[in-house]
Structure 1
Amino acid sequence: MFERFTKDARDVVRGAVERCEGAGARTVGTEHLLLALLDREGSRASFALAALGLAERRDAVREALDETRRRAGLSRAESDALAGLGIDVSEIVSRIEEVHGAGAMSDGSPSGGAAGGGAKGAGRRTGRPAFGRGAKRILEQSLRMALSHHDRRIGDEHILLALTVHPGPAAEVLADHGVTHASLTRVLYGGGEAQAG
């Protein structure tokens, strides 16, 4: 499938691996893909993010992803659902961090292995981190996105579109910052204000 990726899309995948390694994580998660997309300049995805006003709010997105990591990868919706059952995720995180230190629930990877598909209890790895279930789904979905828009190659914009439709923390953070599948499609493929070239 990677032979169908544009240079920009391959750069996003490489950037996600680098983000993962830099964080000391064992698996590449959807958050790593989003962080790699935020690092891009001069691509269709970076144009779309700028057109939607996210270029100025990249730090806010990174902070929101950090907060998700602190909650062991639980989205706000999942935390709210647990609250409905009488489970206060913030309180649990606080108590665990008192004993084990800040970020203890992240297990060294965004999403604590949950949304990122990390392997719990896996020993130390040598070499490159593997792609988690969520990240693999995003890459597979990016192919579907390209095909649905009759694009012959998979670009970084297709990875971004896939992130908006895959439920989880990355999609939630994007939506909280005004980046939805509908708004991206409008910017990338027309039907409104701007169109990425």
Structure 2
Amino acid sequence: MFERFSEAARTVVQEAVDLAVRAGARRVTEEHLLLALLGRESTRASFALASLGLEGERRKALYEDLDRARRRGGLSREDEEALAGLGIDLDAIVSRVEDEHGEGALATGAARPGRGLLGGRRVPFSRGARSVLERALRETLAGRERTLGDEHLLLGLLSLSGPVPEALARRGVTGDAVRRVLYGAGGGEGEERRAG
């Protein structure tokens, strides 16, 4: 599959792995892929994100939402609302756990203390991160494009459910919005898409 990746897409995947390693994560997650996409400049994905206004304060708020979701064990706002409907105060639970075990105790993908995390091994991709790659390839093939670009990684990420695409959608960054920016009003297939 990686032979289809553009230089920009390969760089995003490598940067996601590097971010996971630096964070001491056990797996490369969707969040690592998004953070790598956000760190890029002069690519199709960065153009789409900037065109949709994901800069400055809006980007800072996105980072805060991602941090909040990570500290809550990856639960989305939808999950939080469902728990609240059952009378469960997620903030109170997170606060008690962090008081007892330290900040970020529920964080998803965190390394467990006392274990050699990497030991020279590769960091595997989470199920969600693998889904992003698979959906990016499908997006590329659906558009009859030969090269999988970083914009396809963004579209693959946005096709999932969960805290990362949810945080983007709250800021107007959806698959349809990205397709409109990149491919025009219809976000068409084939020749029309390649022209964008």
TM-score (structure 1 length as normaliser) = 0.88
* Deviation by residue 1:102-145 (Cα, 9 ceiling, x = unmatched): 11111553xx9xxxxxx9xx863323311010000000000011
Given the alignment of the two structures, is residue 12 of structure 1 paired with residue 12 of structure 2, yes or no? yes
1:157 paired residue among 132, 151, 157: 151
Q: CA contact under 8 A between 1:23 and 1:108: conserved in structure 2?
A: no
The separation in 2 between residues aligned to 1:23 and 1:176, in whole angstroms, is 26
The separation in 2 between residues aligned to 1:150 and 1:165, in whole angstroms, is 18
Q: CA contact under 8 A between 2:30 and 2:164: conserved in structure 1?
A: yes
The separation in 2 between residues aligned to 1:61 and 1:107, in whole angstroms, is 17
2:165 corresponding residue in structure 1: 171
The change in CA–CA distance for 1:145 and 1:107 in structure 2 (over 3 A counts) is closer
The separation in 2 between residues aligned to 1:24 and 1:188, in whole angstroms, is 35
RMSD, aligned CA? 2.0
TM-fit CA distance, 1:96: 0.3
The change in CA–CA distance for 1:6 and 1:105 in structure 2 (over 3 A counts) is same
The change in CA–CA distance for 1:97 and 1:166 in structure 2 (over 3 A counts) is same
The letter for the 2-side match of 1:31 is E
Larger Rg: 2
TM-score (structure 2 length as normaliser) = 0.88
The separation in 2 between residues aligned to 1:99 and 1:39, in whole angstroms, is 34
1:71 corresponding residue in structure 2: 72
The change in CA–CA distance for 1:174 and 1:99 in structure 2 (over 3 A counts) is same
The separation in 2 between residues aligned to 1:169 and 1:148, in whole angstroms, is 26
In structure 1, the residue corresponding to 2:106 is in which secondary structure? helix
Runs (5+) with no aligned partner, structure 2: 187-192
2:134 corresponding residue in structure 1: 140
Q: CA contact under 8 A between 2:74 and 2:108: conserved in structure 1?
A: no
Task: Summarize the alignment of residues 9-158 of structure 1 with structure 2, pairs less than 5 Å apart.
Answer: 9-56=9-56, 57-106=58-107, 109=110, 124-126=117-119, 127-158=121-152
* Deviation by residue 1:58-90 (Cα, 9 ceiling, x = unmatched): 222111110110111001101111222222211
The separation in 1 between residues aligned to 2:127 and 2:108, in whole angstroms, is 16
